[in-house]
Amino acid sequence: MAHYYSHAHYDTHAHANPYVYGRNQTNTHNNDHAYTQADTRDFIVATEPTQCTHTPCLWGNGTCRIALDDLSPSGLTRHLKAFHFNTGANQWDNKRRGMCAWGSHCDAQEMNFESFGKHIAAVHLRSTAQRCPRCGRGFARGDTLTRHMLENCPYADE
């Protein structure tokens, strides 16, 4: 069965990234799929469901939809600065404080803008997650793993 992907207007930032994240418009299959804007047809036809290699930006309740290929804290910060904090009164300032707008809901308290990338990577995407090689315990960020290994790992003396 062929899957049809509409070129709906998800990406208003076409110049930024040739990959946008589109949603399959059929009722039988609701997986997300990547497509390129270079394709000028009304629909892209795929005979098999495809797996997206990029993660969609969900800032502002998912209205951005640009496919992110750098999920590091600095990569996420670059994206936020370029596309979400680049107009008038909404300029990026590292020391300015605000609420995380990733997805539909985030329980995080107000934070400095400079912390948004690190927060999104660690909490929402878990792209910075690491596991202790000694005891196997998981950590959201490398700095907490390092502290654990130096101070708290029960196998530190081995």
Task: Mark 30-41 as b/e (b = at least 16 C-beta within 10 Å).
Answer: eebbbbeeeeee
The closest alpha carbon to 35, from 70, 6, 72, belongs to 6
Whether the pLDDT of residue 43 is over 50: the answer is no
Q: What is the pLDDT of residue 50?
A: 41
Give the amino acid at 118. K
**Among 2-16, 44-58, 66-80, which is the least confidently predicted range?**
2-16
Residues 6+ apart with CB under 8 A from 134: 149, 153, 155, 156, 158
Higher pLDDT, 34 or 100: 100
Mean pLDDT of the chain: 73
Q: How many Cα atoms sit within 13 Å of 133 on the Cβ side? A: 4
The closest alpha carbon to 100, from 109, 90, 91, belongs to 109
Q: Express as a percent the part of the chain with pLDDT over 90.
A: 51
Average pLDDT over residues 3-13: 33
Banded pLDDT at 11 (limits 50, 70, 90)? very low
Whether the pLDDT of residue 5 is over 80: the answer is no
Distance, in Å, from the CA atom of 137 to the CA atom of 156, rounded to the nearest integer, reads 13
Block residue for tokens 């990959």: 19
Average pLDDT over residues 4-20: 36
Q: Please write the tens of the pLDDT for every residue from 69-108.
A: 999 999 999 999 999 998 888 899 999 999 999 988 899 9
- Put simply, whether the predicted model's pTM sits higher than 0.85 gets the answer no
Distance, in Å, from the CA atom of 62 to the CA atom of 106, rounded to the nearest integer, reads 13
Banded pLDDT at 53 (limits 50, 70, 90)? low
